[in-house]
Structure 1
Amino acid sequence: MLKQYLQFKLSQKLSPQQIQLMKLIQLPTQAFEQRLKQEMEENPALESGKETDEFDDQHDEFDNTQDDYEEHEQIGEDINVDEYLSDDDIPDYRTQISNYSADDEDRDMPFAAGTSFNQYLTNQLNTFRLTDDERDIAEFLVGSVDESGYIRRSLADITDDLAFTQNVFTDEKAIEKVLHVVHQLDPAGVGARNLQECLSIQLHRKEKNPDVELAIEIIDTAFDQFTKKHYKKLIQKFDISELQLKDAIEEIERLNPKPGGSYSGNNRVVEHIVPDFAIKIVDGELELTLNGRNAPELHVSREYTNMMKGYKEAREKSKSQKDAVMFIKQKLDAAKWFIEAIKQRQQTLFVTMSSIMHYQKDYFLTGDERKLRPMILKDIAEEIEMDVSTVSRVANSKYVDTPYGTKLIKEFFSESMTNDQGEEVSTREIKKILETVIEDEDKRKPLTDEKLAAILLEKGYPIARRTVAKYREQLDISVARLRKQL
């Protein structure tokens, strides 16, 4: 049985403008510039650069002509042409701020031209005598080499791809034969299928001496024991002294585990970090500036404003003119909203970073990570009276240029713990101390996690062994056995 009834409820929905603002806030500088470029391409009513004096004079003229009209012309129910001719909001269109230097105006990113890594390898194939099929296979193998210099795919997959994409029917044995040719290309080690093969290729191409011969034996026959640093087992297996093993390991350590990275002429895309903020120390005080790229000069198009003025002055208004004004209104509204969103973005970024800077003032004045205070997103959100999600959007994607290097803002946030004196300290402080202790340890007898926990306890930080292990992994530091050196 069908029934009808009324139900009242309250709900919160984000407006399109709020969604647009949140998306703009989380964009880093370079992505923001791309978004700005896209908006200007899509909306002809939005223009960049300073407005000319002629434009300002015309706006004054618009104000004077408005006095001649006692009634506002309406299109439909919502459009008031005078609202788009008023000069009251003109200052709001300009979003330039004066806290950046002229150096920030250099916005062009230079790109280097050259031969790609794969093309460099392909050119070397011309020095070998190969049949047509072998050349096709060799070029396919070279095309499968990644930026590190490895071929990560199995020979079976390569065999299938050659048949389906190149119409070359062969077998794994023939491919392996051609692969040995690829292994002769420069840089040494290129085309290897794993680290063991890469190191072995490089060692076999070195001038032979006792140390190199021993290194080849270790890599080819005892690679697993070598990677796990079972040095005593290696000494017993090859019946050698500790000094001989040390010399062989030094030969291995000179090798390049990523031969592709040694090619300086490759065209891999390099990610450039453009800091969104800069912090300087001036007369013992911190000074924060917002990157000028985040503060473009924008204004509403003069041509579109003239169109609105022309419509207002027209005595007879056709349907096509009304449709045109509807379109112009839409574009002008979008331009105003976008300009306002950029202004709010600038203000949000500056206020958030300013709060973080003052919260971590001791760190920014000294650069000592041990002086970082425990700080979570909620601390900053409460101070600037904004939502935690807004602070998160700023912290996760923005960088700040400090006297101690360019830092991701997220790095300044950390949990707290209580030391033996009952004081709250940052986990970043503990990690820094842990890192220093490991750097100063005897590498012949590295400290275990239990010993590290005991040392931290002596320094006043009661931390469990599993917590030490977690911090060590976050610092990308290996376990004690893998840190061992002869």
Structure 2
Amino acid sequence: MLKQRLNLKLSQKLSPQQIQLMKLIQLPTLAFEQRVKQEYEENPALDAGKEKDEFEDEFKNESDEDDHDVIETEFDVDDYLSDDEIPNYKLKANNYSADDEDKQVPYASGTSFSQFLKNQLQTYTFRGDQEDIAYFLVGSVDDSGYIRRSLIDIVDDLAFTQNIYTDEESVKKALKIVQSLDPAGVGARDLRECLLIQLQRKDKTESVSLAYRIIDEAFDKFSKKHYDKLLQKFGISEEKLKDAIEEIEHLNPKPGASYSGNTKSVEHVIPDFAIHIKNGELELTLNGRNAPEMHISRDYSNMLKGYKEAKTKTKEQKEAVFFIKQKLDSAKWFIDAIKQRQETLYSTMYAIMMHQEEYFLTGDERTLRPMILKDIAEKINMDISTISRVANSKYVETPYGTFLIKSFFSESMKNEEGEDVSTREIKKILEMTIESEDKKKPHTDAKLAQILKEKGYPIARRTIAKYREQLDVPVARLRKEI
């Protein structure tokens, strides 16, 4: 039996322009500059600079009654522009001029880590395929300085990719050469081997010799800080063990990272906002690179005027004016979207700044208030997703450092007085408690829970464990020192 039903369903669909606007809002400063540059290249109807063509105002409201064959693509910018007016100077950083030509971040050039190792190999004399194997091994060294592959896998790769047929023993001989290169420890296959290579190069003092034996014969006990077992195994005093451990602690677990000429792409953080304290009050500015001066091309507007004034209009002219109007519409939308982006970014960060006013005035993380995306969204009457886009991709420069905005968000918990406190505040107190503990007898998670409860923060042991892991702090046994 067939039945017919009528269902009413509300759905919200974003227009392509709204989606593009959301993408613009999400872009950090450097990526936004690239996006603006791309738009300039793709749309000749856009010009840079402060000059404003009088046609812009006319274009916004014009209607062309002469060309009924041309499809209009007008839109009402009031539908998506905010009514809030923010002074123009607030949207720019004080230390940046729109007239500055050089906006590129300079990058240092130099020799890559891999090339640095290959240059050293040129001083060696090889036999047969040993040179090719050694260069292949250098190419397998990762950024930390390790070769994290088994010898048999390397043998197979040499056969398949280099047409070199060899065996594990030959690869091991070439590996010894690679492991003799600088920095000490490079070419190791694991941490234990890395430390042993470095200890081999040190002068053979009593503490160095003992350190070598500890890593070579009891690495597992050392890594788990079973000091009592080490004292028993080697029959040594605590003082000698302490000296040996000090030698080990001065070794480099990531020799590749220490290479100063490493030209791996460096990520430069460019603050999108800056917060300053002036006369005891907070002042927020948006990086001026987010507010480019743009206007509609005079040449394009003149072309459209010329078409309207022409007495006869050919098919080719109508096709041309259709193209021109598309570019002008796109340019006008992009200019308005940039203004909307500026206002959205500023409004969001201003609300965050005022919510965390005490922190930005003092720099004390214990004053951070609980804050979730919904709190800010309700304050400025925007969607939570918009706040998330700003918080997850933007940085703010403060008197205490430069931070990702989302780091100021945290859930709340109740203290013993029933007040809402930020989980960030609790983590800071936990971190300070661990820092001040006696490292010979570090606190267990249960003890930490007890200490925080005494300070007015009733937190379960499992929650302490979770926060400790988020702070990248090891368990009590691994924090123990002699």
TM-score, structure 2 as length reference? 0.92
Structure 2 CA distance for aligned equivalents of residues 211 and 271 of structure 1: 40
Q: Which amino acid letter does the alignment assign opposite residue 76 of structure 1?
A: D
Pair 1:398-2:391 in alignment? no
Give the Cα separation in 2 of the matches to 1:282 and 1:26: 29
Q: Show the 5 A alignment for 1:48-447.
A: 48-51=48-51, 55=53, 72-76=65-69, 78-79=71-72, 97-99=88-90, 100-103=93-96, 105=100, 107-447=103-443
Amino acid at match of 2:23: K
CA contact (8 A) 1:150 1:191 kept: yes
Task: Note the C-alpha offset of 1:336.
Answer: 1.3
Q: Distance in 1 between matches of 2:96 and 2:128?
A: 55
CA distance in 2, matches of 1:462, 1:10: 45
Moved more, 304-313 or 430-439: 304-313
Indicate if the aligned counterparts of 2:71 and 2:322 stay in contact, CA closer than 8 A.
Answer: no
Q: How far did 1:366 drift?
A: 0.5
Q: Measure how far apart 1:467 and its partner are.
A: 0.5
1:18 corresponds to 2:14:
no
Aligned to 1:90: none
- Root mean square deviation of aligned Cα: 2.4
Contact 1:33 1:293 in 2 (8 A): yes
**Displacement of 1:145 after TM fit?**
0.8
Aligned partner of residue 222 in structure 1, secondary structure: helix
**C-alpha distance in structure 2 between counterparts of 1:224 and 1:458, whole Å:** 37
Q: Aligned to 2:96, what secondary structure does the other structure show?
A: helix
Shift of 1:9: 4.8
Contact 1:96 1:295 in 2 (8 A): no
Is the contact between residue 97 and residue 295 of structure 1 (CA under 8 Å) also seen in structure 2?
no
Q: 1:24 to 1:59 in 2, by over 3 A?
A: closer
Shift of 1:423: 1.1
The DSSP-based 3-state class of the residue aligned with 1:303 is helix
Q: Matched residues in 1 for 2:141 and 2:65: separation?
A: 70
Offset of residue 226 of structure 1? 0.4
Cα 1:59–1:478, aligned 2, differ >3 Å: closer, same or farther? closer
Equivalent residues of 2:29, 2:271 under 8 A apart:
yes
CA contact (8 A) 2:207 2:240 kept: yes
CA contact (8 A) 2:273 2:287 kept: yes
When residues 3 and 338 of structure 1 are mapped into structure 2, their CA distance, relative to the original with a 3 A threshold, is farther
4+ runs deviating over 3 angstroms: 1-10, 77-80, 102-106
Measure, in 2, the Cα distance between the counterparts of 1:446 and 1:336.
64
- The CA distance in 1 between the partners of 2:436 and 2:10, in whole Å, is 61
**Distance across 2 between alignment mates of 1:97 and 1:141:** 57
Structure 1 residue identity aligned to 2:400: Y
Could you tell me which amino acid in structure 2 is paired with residue 98 of structure 1?
Y
| SS of residue matched to 1:374 | coil
Aligned sequence identity (%): 69
Larger displacement relative to structure 2 (103-112 or 113-122)? 103-112
The one-character-per-residue Cα deviations of 1:451-485 (angstroms, maximum 9, x if unpaired) are 00000011011110001111111111110000001
> SS state of the match for residue 281, structure 1?
strand
Q: Is the 8 A contact 1:400 1:407 kept in 2?
A: yes
Q: How many residues align?
A: 466
Contact 2:442–2:477 (CA under 8 A) maintained in structure 1 = yes
Instruction: Report the residue type matching 1:457 in the other structure.
Output: K
Report what 1:43 is aligned to.
43
Measure, in 1, the Cα distance between the counterparts of 2:475 and 2:38: 49
Tell me, yes or no, if the aligned pair for 2:96 and 2:288 is still in contact at 8 Å.
no
| Cα contact 2:28–2:393 (8 A) shared by 1 | yes
